[in-house]
Structure 1
Amino acid sequence: MPFVNLKTTKTNLTREAKAQIVREFSETLVRVLGKKPENIHIVIDAVDDENWGHSGALVAHTRKLAED
């Protein structure tokens, strides 16, 4: 039983994007590992930008700088 846990920030993570992620991850596990779709579990943990750090700074801060 494959279990995939994807952690990403909430920015630009629409319902449609999540559905596509689940569909394409599942298709890959079926194609590459021969797994049955009904046995595949995928969890998407969407984290606020304020709770994600990268390169020594909060993602919320670096995104704000990029916007300015």
Structure 2
Amino acid sequence: MQDVEVKFAYKAGFRRLWLALSLLWLIGAVLVVSEYREGALQAFLLFGFLPVIAIYVIGVALVWIIEGFARADR
């Protein structure tokens, strides 16, 4: 039998998960922020946009950690 190397696509999987959750979050944030008369942009940036960026950064960090454990010691 041949040795077949299987590589998991952590980056692509996390990115797709982040994109799907971010779209849902942004839609919800727009619906909630649309009720504000004043400061709607600030509220959207704080409660809509900032969490999306934070989750992406956390996902990148998790992939970096997982790839670090997956690599053989040199």
Common fold: TM-score over 0.5: no
The TM tier, using the shorter chain, reads 0.3 to 0.5
The alignment's TM-score, normalised by the length of structure 2, stands at: 0.34
More helix by share: 2
The alignment's TM-score, normalised by the length of structure 1, stands at: 0.36
Which is bigger in relative contact order (C-alpha 8 A, separation at least 6)?
1
More strand by share: 1
